[in-house]
């Protein structure tokens, strides 16, 4: 491989020669596709050196077949994705930018810098990391950091003496009322925090209200990955590793440490949604246990973008870093989205929630809602998640002699729910699209009176729950409200009254009632 690398370097002399070089290689590719070496071998006039050279180049181009299938061709290559969850992907926006057979050659193609982005400790079993080949190393994407305040984005621990988090809470959708445009950073409204960002345990839940794209501004978080659940409007995440467009009914994940810019896609208007900020171990797919190898979220439905990069110089830009709950800004004169090629298993992705295949009861009773887990972020206690992301979507209800909505319960886990669209079966009224609710650790909850009476007296024929999609961020830690969530957000003060009219049916006499 060293010899091939040297030849590649020798060919790269100037831009014009580089272009000619690519044209030549494209032609080589077509030659290979048409006839392969047998066709070329008919040209007796070619000398041995030229043939050897062709063979070497053809081998180089042909060996990584997948690379040709997934390679990006332009810097604006939006909408192309690779399939799979946690795969070891490889992708390049310029042909042959990705070293083959090694990670850090003495010199990289195109004069790129090799850099590793690690999402886990080096020594973790099955470490997650990605090798980036970029125009500048990341140390050039920062100058001196200056701390500044982002008033509504809070991090754990954030326990306020004057705010009570013990209770059942429900909010109406957060309206777009600000007279000032808000970006991905300024429009992030923290609802709850849990655990401790400094010890990498717990999480925070946010609602984002985005009315303006980030312009020459970039963001990354050292505090955790962000799971994005759009509820209204479309967003584009232009990241170091490629571009992701996301809209309601889809989710996206932005890994810890990944630099990106968030644009609002204008035709869709302002964007609102939910974010789970995971301070702990990254999300994985849950083990399906006896369910087997299929259903729930299938790996092939997760989509990671192909490589795309910006080569923008002399552009005053800033990079915002969230670090231990504090925000810092640094100024540079170029775009940091300059990764031309990358390979690895630490990358952003998106997932279409409509591809989630729910599994449930087919005779009687109601399984625990863990049956609807899309993603889980494990903690150090087996089976006790730092966070579960759970989806309640369209499905059939067929159980016999069964109270079909979720039953009444208390739970050691803390449950933050959001409604993406439609009607949630346990709360036909009040829990509306864009709204959310919080049922904290060991706080009882369950169907409201109307849902209870309706489900208790329904004719139990097979029924399709249509037009419904709600989710839950569930954590092992108590979730503490922010002052904004407790006093400014549209809290439904009468939420607890939804259970008030539940009747005492017991009168001591036997019989089903
Ligand atoms: Fe619950």
Q: What is the mean pLDDT of residues 6-20?
A: 34
* 506 Cα to the center of ligand 1, angstroms: 25
Q: How far is the CA of 400 from the centre of ligand 1 (A)?
A: 22
Q: What is the pLDDT of residue 94?
A: 94
pLDDT bin (cut points 50, 70, 90) of residue 17 is very low
Indicate the SS3 state at residue 204. Answer: strand
272 within 8 A of 173, measured Cβ to Cβ: yes
- What is the residue-averaged pLDDT of the chain? 86
Report the alpha-carbon angle 259-327-123, nearest 5: 55
User: Which pLDDT score is estimated for 426?
Assistant: 77
Q: Active site residue: 158, 343, 366, 409, which one?
A: 366
Cα 229 to ligand 1 centre (Å)? 19
Percent of the chain with pLDDT over 70: 85
Cα→Cα distances 83→230, 249, 261, 340, Å: 21, 18, 23, 20
The answer to which of 14-23, 351-360, 452-461, 489-498 has the lowest mean pLDDT is 14-23
For the chain, give the percent of residues with pLDDT over 90. Answer: 79
> Domain limits of the chain?
1-37+46-63, 142-337+347-352, 354-499
Is residue 198 within 8 A of residue 233, CB to CB? The reply is no
Is residue 67 over pLDDT 50? no
Quick one: CA torsion of 157, 159, 165, 170, rounded to 10 degrees? Answer: -60
Q: Is the domain defined by 354-499 classed in CATH 2.60.120.10?
A: yes
User: Which range, 34-38, 172-176, 422-426, has the best average confidence (pLDDT)?
Assistant: 172-176
Write down the pLDDT at residue 377. Answer: 98
Q: Is 458 helix (H, G, I), strand (E, B) or coil?
A: coil
Higher-confidence position of 378 and 74:
378
CA of 449 to the centre of ligand 1 (A): 16
- Please tell me the distance between residue 224's alpha carbon and the centre of ligand 1 in angstroms: 25
Q: How far away, in angstroms, is 452 Cα from ligand 1 center?
A: 15
Q: How far apart are CA 416 and CA 20, in angstroms?
A: 57
* pLDDT for the residue 267: 72
pLDDT tens-digit readout, 427-463: 878 899 999 999 999 999 999 999 999 999 999 999 9
CA of 445 to the centre of ligand 1 (A): 6
- The pLDDT tens digits of the residues spanning 148-203 come to 999 999 999 999 999 999 989 999 999 998 889 999 999 999 999 999 999 999 99
Alpha carbon of 412 to ligand 1 centroid (Å): 10
pLDDT of amino acid 78: 56
Which fold would CATH assign to domain 142-337+347-352? Jelly Rolls (2.60.120)
Please determine, for residue 413, whether its predicted confidence score (pLDDT) is greater than 90. yes
Give tens-digit pLDDT for 233-281: 999 999 999 999 999 999 999 999 999 999 999 777 899 999 999 999 9
Which is nearest to 309 in space by CA: 260, 347, 245? 260
- 439 classed as catalytic: no
pTM over 0.95: no
Q: Matching CATH topology for 142-337+347-352 and 354-499?
A: yes
């Amino acid at each position: 491989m060293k010899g091939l690398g040297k030849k590649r370097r020798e060919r790269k002399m100037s831009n014009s020669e580089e272009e000619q070089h690519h044209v030549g290689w494209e032609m080589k590719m077509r030659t290979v596709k048409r006839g392969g070496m047998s066709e070329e071998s008919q040209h007796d006039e070619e000398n041995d050196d030229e043939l050897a050279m062709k063979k070497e180049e053809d081998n180089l181009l042909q060996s990584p077949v997948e690379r040709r299938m997934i390679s990006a061709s332009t810097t604006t290559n939006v909408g192309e994705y690779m399939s799979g969850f946690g795969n070891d992907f490889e992708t390049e926006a310029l042909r042959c930018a990705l070293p083959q057979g090694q990670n850090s050659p003495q010199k990289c193609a195109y004069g790129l810098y090799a850099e590793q982005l690690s999402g886990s400790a080096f020594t973790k079993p099955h470490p997650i990391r990605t090798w980036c080949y970029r125009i500048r190393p990341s140390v050039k994407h920062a100058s001196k950091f200056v701390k500044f305040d982002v008033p509504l984005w809070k991090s754990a621990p954030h326990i306020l003496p004057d705010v009570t988090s013990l209770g059942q809470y429900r909010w109406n959708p957060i309206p777009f009322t600000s007279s000032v445009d808000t970006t991905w950073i300024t429009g992030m409204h923290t609802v709850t925090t849990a655990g401790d960002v400094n010890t990498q345990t717990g999480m925070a839940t946010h609602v984002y209200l985005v009315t303006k794209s980030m312009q020459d501004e970039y963001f990354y978080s050292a505090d955790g990955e962000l799971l994005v659940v759009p509820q209204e409007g479309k967003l584009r995440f232009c990241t170091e590793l490629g571009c992701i467009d996301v809209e309601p009914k889809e989710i996206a994940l932005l890994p810890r440490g990944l630099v990106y810019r968030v644009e609002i896609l204008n035709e869709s208007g302002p964007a609102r949604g939910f974010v789970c900020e995971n301070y702990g171990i990254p999300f994985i797919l849950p083990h399906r246990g006896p369910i087997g190898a299929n259903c729930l979220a299938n790996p092939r439905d997760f989509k990671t973008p192909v490589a795309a990069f910006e080569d923008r110089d002399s552009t005053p830009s800033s990079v915002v870093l969230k670090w231990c709950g504090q925000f810092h800004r640094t100024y540079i004169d170029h775009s940091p989205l300059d990764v031309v090629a990358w390979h690895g298993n630490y990358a952003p992705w998106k997932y279409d929630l409509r591809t989630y295949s729910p599994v449930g009861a087919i005779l009687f009773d109601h399984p625990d809602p863990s049956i609807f887990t899309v993603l889980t972020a494990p903690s150090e206690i087996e089976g006790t998640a730092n966070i579960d992301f759970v989806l309640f979507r369209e499905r059939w209800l067929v159980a016999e002699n069964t109270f079909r909505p979720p039953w009444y319960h208390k739970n050691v886990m803390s449950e933050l729910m959001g409604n993406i669209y439609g009607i949630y079966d346990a709360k036909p009224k009040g829990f509306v699209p864009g709204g959310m609710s919080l049922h904290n650790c060991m706080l009882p909850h369950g169907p409201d009176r109307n849902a209870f009476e309706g489900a208790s007296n329904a004719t139990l024929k097979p029924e399709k729950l249509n037009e419904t999609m709600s989710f839950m961020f569930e954590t092992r830690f108590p979730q503490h409200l922010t002052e904004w969530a407790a006093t400014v957000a549209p809290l439904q003060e009468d939420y607890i009254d939804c259970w008030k009219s539940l009747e005492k049916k017991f009168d001591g006499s036997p019989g089903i009632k």
